[in-house]
Amino acid sequence: MNRGRFRVGHRYRWLSGFSGWADARAIEALMSDPEVVSIDIDRIAYPAITQGGALVGATIVQSLGVTGSGVTVAVIDTGIDTDHPDLASSLIAEACFCDDAPGPFGCCPGGGDTQTGAGAAEDDVGHGTGSAGVIVSSSVTNMGIAPDASIVAVKVIGAAGAGNFSDVADGLDWVITNHATYGIKIVNLSLGDGVAYDNAAASPCTGSNTADAIAQLKDLGVSVFVASGNEGFDNGISFPACVPEAFSVGGVYDAMFESVSWCGATCSITLCTDQPAFADSFVCHTNSGSLLDILAPHYQATVPMIGGGTRNLGGTSISSPYAAGQAALLLEADASLTPDQILSSLEIGAPMVTNPDNGLSFPRTRVDLAVAQLLAVCGNGVLETGEVCDDGNTTPGDCCSDVCEFETSGSVCDDGLFCSTGETCTAGVCDGGAAMDCSASADPCNAGVCNEASDACEADPTNEGGICSEGDSCTAANTCAVGICQAGLPTDCDDLDPCTADSCDAVNGCAHAPISECVAAVPASSDVGRTLLALMLLTAGLWLGQRRGVRRT
């Protein structure tokens, strides 16, 4: 039986599947195999193309010394210009998975379809070089968002400018294997399939190898940022941005332009025009819909180009590494952040930008507020970003809690300043309570006045050591000491009766409760015992005598 021709492409390590090249008969044979759950036709992955640093607050964060140090980002793209002076110092590892045609050859630099090590991700298109530059460019004039972060470059797109998602899945599979080795905490995917998806639960957004890999990475604590696409869809975003575990990124302008027109796939037609294009406004060709998560700067970015120098680029391919770079800044500030915490942090104080074509609004990332909140020091007496209050300590009970938030209204507090008791917190202020009674008649140990500084009654030196009552009937010989009635010896409530339970109540004093079915044992040697015994004998004697006196003969 002719089962067709099939050549295996990739055997994934962590994903339940494989890829390859097959003719129609081979596909039919695979479909009839009970071990095969599903077959997906491979999709084409297209590249989706730093002055926005000020817009998102990255320049402020860098001035605080937070530059992405210690954080590694994997850029899965066309590769990277490995010796570009703005990028070379950041590159720590390379890999390539590029199988662009049937046969033994591929589009990796060495001519094969798989390659790792130095030179494996050499860029022959320039797109990946630009994406990586948005994150880590060390140029003084075009500083990346996280210039001290590290880059792992994974090439999945060759010189033709398009690749296969089976290669993307293989690249993600490699990242899963090596994320701990290189400390990869962020992945950037500035690519998509050019189709609109509005259902995250449908294939390929869920169930595909690429989607499964992104989900596994998130479970491992790795955040995956994906460009939403540049086709101008208003009712959906491209794959893999639509994957539920991915963070999809659309674009805004980082400055004002009089007019900006955007091409379609071949630039033979104009897709849309923004006229004028205001700073921080929605870029008209950005794919959006209910699945879009966030926005970041898009146009225009000055980025490194292959062969040296720079060029200007735009597109959601730029927006995605903008967001990835901000995530690197957050992780330097707090390495424990989870992917979901990173996304929510990027939305702190973020302005909402509306797509006028569908009326939907999305948060445009602002990393400075998030990092400032992470770096805030509670208890230093300075009200910083993220703090509601900071009174110079982290001791609870003064209406500013140990995490610098207002304590619950109505909770007990001590204002420390006024002669009052029973104060409670109200909107972060310790207020209310009753005036402290320091009258001499109420307490013979104090002088009848309250000391505002100590929030206590002043001691009466004339009565130091004098007798006083602290209102406890279970103590005796109470005396004044430093203005306070100090308890004396405990009251002895023992009534020497073994058939009573002795206790003391602070209000009513001693109490003696009878013990049921209790018989007191009387020692024979006691006087009472001897008296009772004598009486018993005397009575018995009289009775015996009487009996003897009436006996018959």
CB 169 within 8 A of CB 157: no
Instruction: Identify whether residues 294 and 427 lie together within a single domain.
Output: no
How far, in Å, are 304, 339, 348, 461 from residue 183 at the CA level? 24, 15, 26, 70
Instruction: Identify whether residues 89 and 180 lie together within a single domain.
Output: yes
CB 18 within 8 A of CB 9: yes
530, part of any domain: no
Instruction: Identify whether residues 96 and 171 lie together within a single domain.
Output: yes
Instruction: Identify whether residues 232 and 324 lie together within a single domain.
Output: yes
How far, in Å, are 288, 381, 386, 398, 417 from residue 378 at the CA level? 39, 8, 10, 14, 23
Structure tokens at 267: 């630039």
Ramachandran category for residue 261: left, alpha or beta (phi over 0 → left; psi -120 to 50 → alpha): beta
Task: Specify the 3-state DSSP secondary structure of 131.
Answer: helix
Instruction: Identify whether residues 418 and 299 lie together within a single domain.
Output: no
CB 156 within 8 A of CB 99: no
Ordered DSSP codes for 194-220: S--B--TTSTTTTTSHHHHHHHHHHHT
Q: What is the DSSP letter of 278?
A: -
Structure tokens at 424: 């409670």
Instruction: Specify the pairing of strand 456-459 against strand 429-431.
Output: unpaired
CB 228 within 8 A of CB 286: yes
Rg (C-alpha) for the chain, rounded Å, is: 42
What is the structure's pLDDT at 549? 40
For 484, phi then psi, to 5°, come to -125, 140
93, part of any domain: yes
Looking up residue 142, the CATH number of its domain turns out to be 3.40.50.200
Residue by residue, pLDDT tens for the chain (553 residues) are 455 666 666 566 666 666 565 566 666 666 667 766 665 655 554 444 345 888 888 999 998 899 999 999 999 999 999 999 999 999 999 999 998 777 678 899 999 999 999 999 999 999 999 999 999 999 877 899 999 999 999 999 999 888 888 899 999 999 999 999 999 999 999 999 999 999 999 999 999 999 999 999 999 999 999 999 999 999 999 999 999 999 999 999 988 888 888 886 667 788 899 999 998 999 999 999 999 999 999 988 889 999 999 898 889 999 999 999 999 999 999 999 999 999 999 999 899 999 999 999 999 999 999 998 898 888 888 888 778 899 888 888 889 888 888 988 888 887 766 677 788 898 888 887 777 777 766 677 888 788 776 767 888 888 888 888 777 888 888 888 887 888 888 888 998 888 999 999 888 889 999 988 786 554 544 444 444 444 444 444 443 334 444 433 3
Instruction: Identify whether residues 71 and 214 lie together within a single domain.
Output: yes
For 513, residues 6+ apart whose C-beta sits below 8 A from its C-beta are 500, 501, 503
Instruction: Identify whether residues 402 and 357 lie together within a single domain.
Output: no
Q: What is the DSSP letter of 407?
A: P
257, part of any domain: no
Give the separation between CA 238 and CA 193, rounded to whole angstroms. Answer: 6
301, part of any domain: yes
Instruction: Identify whether residues 294 and 335 lie together within a single domain.
Output: yes
Question: In which domain, by residue range, is 459 found?
Answer: 446-490
Give the separation between CA 169 and CA 12, rounded to whole angstroms. Answer: 8
Give the separation between CA 402 and CA 395, rounded to whole angstroms. Answer: 6
529, part of any domain: no
Give the separation between CA 280 and CA 55, rounded to whole angstroms. Answer: 8
Instruction: Identify whether residues 10 and 86 lie together within a single domain.
Output: yes
Last-in-domain residue among 375, 398, 414: 375
Tokens 């980002």 correspond to 73
What is the structure's pLDDT at 108? 95
What is the structure's pLDDT at 516? 82
Q: Quick check: pTM over 0.85?
A: no
Give the separation between CA 163 and CA 259, rounded to whole angstroms. Answer: 32
The amino acid that residue 48 corresponds to is A
Q: What is the domain count for the chain? A: 4
What's the 3-state SS for 8-66? EEEECCCCCCEEEEECHHHHHHHHHCCCCCCCCCCCEEEECCCHHHCCCCHHHHHHCCC
CB 184 within 8 A of CB 74: yes
259, part of any domain: no
The amino acid that residue 413 corresponds to is C
Instruction: Identify whether residues 317 and 416 lie together within a single domain.
Output: no
- 176 membership: H or E segment, kind and range: helix 165-182
Tokens 């006024």 correspond to 418
Give the separation between CA 507 and CA 503, rounded to whole angstroms. Answer: 12
Structure tokens at 507: 């209000």
Give alpha helix (H) positions in 33-153: 58-63, 127-136
Instruction: Specify the pairing of strand 270-274 against strand 294-299.
Output: unpaired
Instruction: Identify whether residues 338 and 474 lie together within a single domain.
Output: no
What's the 3-state SS for 296-360? EEEECEEEECCCCCEEEECCHHHHHHHHHHHHHHHHHHCCCCCHHHHHHHHCCCCCEEECCCCCC
Instruction: Specify the pairing of strand 294-299 against strand 247-253.
Output: parallel
What is the structure's pLDDT at 520? 55
Instruction: Identify whether residues 394 and 464 lie together within a single domain.
Output: no
CB 170 within 8 A of CB 140: no
What is the structure's pLDDT at 531? 42
549, part of any domain: no
* Nearest residue to 327 (alpha-carbon basis) of 249, 251, 255, 384: 249
277, part of any domain: no
Give the separation between CA 359 and CA 283, rounded to whole angstroms. Answer: 14
Structure tokens at 203: 């294939």
What is the structure's pLDDT at 202? 95
Q: 115 burial class (0-12, 13-18, 19+ CB within 10 angstroms)?
A: buried
Return the beta strands (E) in 360-455 as ranges. Answer: 361-363, 420-421, 424-426, 429-431, 434-435, 446-451
For 213, phi then psi, to 5°, come to -65, -45
